Chain A
Amino acid sequence: MKKEGEVRIPSGCAVCGIFARDGRSINGEVIARSIALMRNRSNGLGGGFAGYGIYPQYKDYYAVHIFYDSLKSREECERFLDSHFDIINLSKIPVRQIESITDAPLIWRYFVSPLVHKIQDSQLDENEYTARCMIRINNQIDGAYVFSCGKNMGVFKAVGYPEDVARFYRLEDYSGYAWTAHGRYPTNTPGWWGGAHPFALLDLSVVHNGEISSYDANRRAVEMYGYSCNLLTDTEVITYILDYLTRKEGLTLEECANVIAAPFWSTIALKDRDEADRLSYLRKMYSSFLITGPFSILVGFTGGMMALNDRLKLRSLVVGEKGSTTYFSSEEAAIRAVEPELDRVWAPAGGQPVIVTLDEGVCV
């Protein structure tokens, strides 16, 4: 059977997220309990989490999580890392051996800082340099796969049910102000850990439920800007589009939502002139990044989180609020599982982004 990336595998899914606007730390066990409730939306072929604010002691360094197929690939990759970064700390990611998670690769974590003279030589900024290095590892070093490389955040994922993945990675040992989680229902059995979600580039992570019908149009468009879609998954292409639009084109997340889940022309026509001009501009300028077909996504980034549905709302997505905490989920029940008494709960309309950020003055 072909590995993910050699073949495109559609999947259904469950997603959920928790965000503390006051910046307080939430234990990883909470998000695990939330996603566990939606077990029947997954099929045991992929689960994962992204936590923000989980590495305060190393917050100025890129936290690089890598799967290795073999010792040889680790040695080759570490040579590459060594020649491009200062490695401040390296270790195996601690895991708990459990029966339901098998065939684990070697899982390593590095805290790194780009070599200053290398950055200067490359004429790139620190983020672009790091992103390119990570993409290069994934493309060129056989058996090495970087699945997380942001600052003060980290992705943990595996083939298995999400609650088992949480136990495997000892998620209760991590706390942060934001978490997203994903349970996957792929219609194929890749059995490859890299194919699980969240998908992340630098501090941007995406969990996604859906199957986008615009996939190849989007993929071929974003690949023009130097990205390489190796996994052939929706999540990967959405992550790259968002990275391109925010980091390289300087769009806000709300503008990104107006691009990927653009309002219909008939809706734009009803807006006042300035708004109609703005929305038409975004649609025309970035027409090949319009995403059609069902999706609900949670986008994690440093200091914030965005939830977004496709413009027809073909996938469920619910938002709940309690005090300074915002919850997102495919099903309301998964929110109630960890916070039964909500101040407010609603289902955002298709194409309407819900963006939460840390309260003013909060540092993490």
Chain B
Amino acid sequence: MNNFSRFRINLRKEDCISCRSCVKQCSFNAISWNEETKSLVFNHAGCTDCQRCVSFCPRGALFITRNENTFAPHSLYTEKVLRELFIQSETGGVLLSSMGSPAEKVPVYFDHLLLNASQVTNPSIDPLREPMETRTFLGRRPAHAQRGTDGKLVNNLLPHLDLQTPILFSAMSYGAVSLNVQKALARAAEKLGTYFNCGEGGLHESLYRYSANTIVQVASGRFGVHETYLNSASAIEIKIGQGAKPGIGGHLTGAKIIGDVSATRMVPEGVDAISPAPHHDIYSIEDLRQLVSSLKEATGYRKPVIVKVAAVHNIAPIASGIARSGADIIAIDGFRGGTGAAPMRIRDNVGLPIELAVAVVDQRLRDERIRNQVSIIASGGIRCSTDVVKALALGADAVSIGTAALCALGCHLCASCSSGKCAWGLATQNPELVKRLDPDQGADNLVRLVSAWTREIKEIMGGMGINSIEALKGNRLALRAVGLNEKELEILGVRYGGE
């Protein structure tokens, strides 16, 4: 109902030329054209504030605001709470949400951490004049060096990933996002010398040629998993969980299982693709070990295996168990991690912020003296280059970005992914909408974004007098905290500002 819509579509009539571009662009049927009155008609209730119409209005005549209508203010029963009560009493359903949790009361620890810089006692290094290395290796290291009978060192390193910058693209499946999104990610990963992750929806054949920059996922639904799939990647990720919905499976509606999505997922057209909450062959850590071994066996021990888990309360022992399962890399997805669709209560109440998770896992693996056996990829709310630097200083080897990457492709975080009507052509399979993203232009945007971040990372490193990324990893003295309590400092392993 328009009276209670979240947003209002506003028009400066004097600027409007009735070109009806907004009508064409709105995929949520929030704007239509009345032929009789020759005017725009707004269905405010349909508006998601995706900013597509605003972006395409040639005269800047449109703007979206919050609905000024105000519910009786109540500190406990806020407008958000009331809206949720109304929806549930009307629909009887679980509340759905998309993208990462905006929970306001959960601290964003990155914003409480400050970085160091060199002054006098050691020199800062100018990245424009001196080499500044961001090349990153992810994978297991052997326990000891080995020498041949000739006394020379033997290369006993195991298969690993080689990144030019410590930033990967997070898993986003074909089905949840369009093929064009995956094409953009794959092309960008190739240009940047990093990796994209195809998620759990299988790998479209047109992407096989990016195998040197591809990570394929094996999730609980096992969609699209076959021998060629596994061997068309540089690494295989076993997805146990996701930061936006720890402990919860997935559900791609039959409406999206059409054409190539169906073929790639190996799910009949029109049938819902349901990812069970657990892997039904992993009910325990020793089962994980068997799956890791099976995947390595299937790929001739040529590819590192990543195990992705959501950050939950006992993440440290979980990570320790994974490190001992034969996995080469642990991907930890934090509380703020994005999603195409998740139950809102789960998204906003389950899990741990990535900063805490990385800090405790890194320390735990060191305490157990197995930190060198695995690499850590952190994700879930990495918004900018300083988040990357801070995550690395806390103990991650690399980060992966999903939401930030989607923003480079046009996403404005309207969080309506689950509707399938994404006006930017990202989280949709509607052929008309999908066309809105040109994969080459998208790839260019992604390359520019990650290159910009990498440049900033180099500036920051240079300021600290560090000229190689490995000297930043776990370097917690490079961080100081403000506005945190002693317990938080202890868990993050960081000193207070001024200490």
Contact = CB atoms under 8 A, between A and B. Distances in A.
A124 interface: no
Given A250-B145, A264-B133, A312-B130, A221 B474 contact: yes
Contact of B475 (A217, A277, A314): A217
A298 interface: no
Contacts of B464: 213
Output the residue of A216, A218, A292 with the most chain B CB within 10 A.
A292
Sort chain B's interface into a size bin. Answer: 35 or more
B497 to A, nearest CB: 15
Given A249-B144, A290-B471, A264 B369 contact: no
A293 B463 CA distance: 11
Contacts of A220: 366, 474-476
Contacts of B468: 262, 290, 292
Output the residue of A12, A262, A291, A293 with the most chain B CB within 10 A.
A293
Interface string B119-158: 0011101000011010101000110110100001101010
B137 A288 contact: no
Interface string A226-268: 0000000000000000000000011100010000001011100
B188 interface: no
A225 interface: yes
Given A213-B122, A224-B369, A250 B147 contact: yes
A331 B25 CA distance: 71
Given A187-B121, A224-B371, A293-B465, A285 B130 contact: no
Given A294-B122, A312-B130, A223 B366 contact: yes
A363 B121 CA distance: 42
Interface string B195-222: 0000000000000000000000000000
A352 interface: no
B466 interface: yes
A102 interface: no
B366 A224 contact: yes
A80 interface: no
Output the residue of A210, A217, A221, A290 with the most chain B CB within 10 A.
A217
A113 to B, nearest CB: 29
A253 B133 CA distance: 24
A285 B155 CA distance: 9
B418 to A, nearest CB: 41
A284 interface: yes
Interface in A1-53: 8, 10-12
Contact of B131 (A12, A218, A255, A266): A266
Given A223-B366, A314-B123, A213 B160 contact: no
Contacts of A255: 153
B372 A214 contact: no
A310 B468 CA distance: 12
B372 A213 contact: no
A7 to B, nearest CB: 8
B6 interface: no
Nearest to A185: B121
Contacts of B152: 278
B478 interface: yes
A220 B392 CA distance: 14
A218 B141 CA distance: 17
A240 to B, nearest CB: 15
Output the residue of B123, B371, B475 with the most chain A CB within 10 A.
B475
Sort chain A's interface into a size bin. Answer: 35 or more
B329 to A, nearest CB: 14
A291 B475 CA distance: 12
Nearest to A284: B137
A217 B472 contact: yes
Nearest to B392: A217
A288 B121 contact: no
Contacts of A277: 155
A314 B125 CA distance: 10
A265 B133 contact: yes
B122 A312 contact: no
Nearest to B123: A314
A218 B135 CA distance: 18
A225 B477 CA distance: 20
A211 interface: yes
Contacts of A225: 369
B467 interface: yes
B441 interface: no
B475 A312 contact: no
Contact of A287 (B121, B125, B137, B477): B137
Contacts of A314: 122-123
A215 interface: yes
B470 interface: yes
Contacts of B471: 213-214, 217-218, 290-293
A233 to B, nearest CB: 13
Contacts of B472: 214, 217
A346 interface: no
A250 B471 CA distance: 23
Nearest to B160: A284
A217 B470 contact: yes
A278 B467 CA distance: 21
Contacts of A215: 475, 477
Contact of A292 (B137, B372, B467): B467
Contact of A285 (B145, B366, B369): B145
A10 B120 CA distance: 11
A284 B157 contact: yes
A24 to B, nearest CB: 31
B349 interface: no
Given A12-B121, A213-B118, A288 B474 contact: yes
Nearest to B152: A278
Contacts of B131: 264, 266
A292 B155 contact: no
Contacts of B153: 255, 278, 281-282
Contacts of B121: 10-12, 187, 211
Interface in B447-493: 464-468, 470-478
Nearest to B142: A285
A288 B472 CA distance: 9
Given A281-B157, A312-B125, A216 B475 contact: yes
Contacts of B145: 249-251, 285
Given A211-B121, A285-B142, A285-B145, A290 B155 contact: no
20 contacts: A211-B122, A213-B118, A213-B471, A214-B470, A215-B477, A224-B366, A225-B369, A249-B144, A264-B133, A284-B160, A285-B145, A287-B470, A288-B470, A288-B473, A288-B474, A290-B470, A292-B467, A294-B122, A312-B125, A314-B123
Closest 9 CB pairs of A and B: A214-B471, A213-B465, A216-B477, A211-B122, A217-B475, A292-B471, A287-B470, A10-B121, A216-B475
Given A211-B122, A217-B472, 12 more contacts: A213-B466, A213-B471, A217-B475, A225-B369, A265-B133, A266-B131, A277-B155, A287-B473, A290-B470, A292-B467, A294-B123, A312-B467
